[in-house]
Homo-oligomer: A and B are copies of this chain.
Amino acid sequence: MTPGYSDSKNHPPPAVRRRIVAFAGGVGGAKLAHGLAQILPPEDLTIIVNTGDDFEHLGLYVCPDLDTVCYTLAGLANPETGWGRVSETWNAITNVEKLGGPAWFRLGDQDIATHLERTRRLKEGQTLSQITKDFCKAWGIKHTVLPMSDAPVRTVVVSDEGELAFQEYFVHRRCEPKVKGFRFDGVAGAEAVVGAREAVEAADAIVICPSNPWVSVDPILNVIPLNEWRGTKPVVAVSPIIGGKAVKGPAAKMFDELGIEPSAAAVASHYRTILAGFVLDKADLNMEDQIKKLNIETRVVNTLMNHLTDRTRLADDVLDFIGSL
């Protein structure tokens, strides 16, 4: 049994069928998607993943969020780093470094296989979504995971040091430059992958996972704007910010540098045109009224997912909240 599935057998099936589409970025998104996958049968959950932070590195086509989601669903994720694979070795990148090559993006040996084979298939003309489907099958993932688009969309961070490709900002520069805005290159012509809009159409609700609103979720919302389904099905977001701090990553720092006080309420406000409901942490109970004033329903629960069981618990809470809307 893989670690990712350790709690799956004990969870009762949902009382009412709910077809869910989840929008996810990296770590936080992957965790909630994993929780939802423990509860919902494969035909009832489609996870649409941000590809805005994909990039080419060392000649490899790397899809950080897509891989984090897939590794997490497959029980292959490294629970300590939040990225990459469990029981990983680092012999390739260590030797790239010895040869003077770029080693700032730490690619593990098992992880490199994903990028090598994906790059090979892309060069052969296969689409990212076809490749993702095949990889999910090979990794034993039964739920549907879709990259948001087969067309390249590239998140550019507009900073006080100029424009930076996302991974350059995020990994190489450790989010140090001050953010002034974002641009999603290629998004205008990027169509959603086949099956994505259909899944949204068929869904009973959309869950925006606790991922970075600026750089993980906004790219997906640019490719698949949810406005057209407004009123037909609830869109529910889970706050990635607890007590004014991002659980992981630079979301709070980004809000701050953009002149917005980082908070669960700021996240809710960010999504206000599409949200029916918002899930916030108990630590942010004081913000509930502020969010309700935006005409958004709220649910206050423990949103921190430290353990595998937390993922299923939060997924359960989210599904229950959706049922109440």
Give the interface of A toward B (CB within 8 A).
58-60, 88-89, 91-96, 98-102, 108-110, 112-114, 116-117, 119-121, 123, 134-135, 138
Report 6 cross-chain contacts, Cβ distance below 8 Å, ordered by A residue.
A59-B59, A59-B120, A60-B116, A89-B89, A95-B110, A112-B112
| A110 and B138 form a contact (CB under 8 A) | no
Neighbouring B residues of A123 by C-beta, 8 Å: 59
Q: Cα distance A108–B123 when bound, in Å?
A: 22
- Measured in the bound complex, the distance between the Cα atoms of B91 and A110 in whole Å is 5
> Which of the residues B93, B99, B134 comes within 8 Å of A134, measured between beta carbons?
B99
Q: Is B100's CB under 8 angstroms from A134's CB?
A: yes
A97 to chain B: closest CB distance in Å? 8
Cα(A59)–Cα(B116), bound, Å: 7
Tell whether, in the assembled complex, residue A138 and residue B100 are in contact, meaning their CB atoms are under 8 Å apart: yes
Known: A59-B59, A123-B59. Contact between A116 and B96, CB under 8 A? yes
Shortest beta-carbon distance from A89 to chain B in Å: 5
Q: Which residues of B contact A102 (CB under 8 A)?
A: 120
Listed residue (A98, A102, A113) with the most chain B CB atoms within 10 angstroms of its CB:
A113
